């Protein structure tokens, strides 16, 4: 997958990861550095699925988008 940068930062304990798309269409994936390696890998997989599904342009509710 191109145009994706994964960064590890300390996030609140209830946040595994978050993805932000910038104005040029580049995806910045932020993964909670406090998680175990296994949990970080799952969070990356989760965030990349959002990108692949174009969830950023979905008209669905956040609850529905997060329910996969």
pLDDT of 14-32, one tens digit each?
Answer: 999 999 989 988 999 999 9
For residue 6, the cross-strand partners are 29
pLDDT band at 62 (very low <50, low <70, confident <90, very high): low
Q: What is the DSSP letter of 3?
A: S
pLDDT of residue 55: 79
* Global confidence as pTM: 0.83
Asked if the model's pLDDT at residue 58 lies above 70, the reply is: no
Burial class of residue 6, CB neighbours in 10 A (0-12, 13-18, 19+): middle
């Amino acid at each position: 997958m191109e145009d994706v940068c994964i960064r590890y930062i300390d996030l609140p304990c209830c946040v595994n990861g978050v993805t932000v798309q910038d104005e040029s269409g580049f995806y910045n994936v932020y993964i909670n550095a406090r998680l175990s390696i296994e949990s970080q890998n799952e969070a990356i997989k989760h965030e990349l699925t959002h990108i692949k599904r174009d969830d950023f342009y979905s008209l669905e509710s956040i609850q529905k988008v997060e329910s996969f």
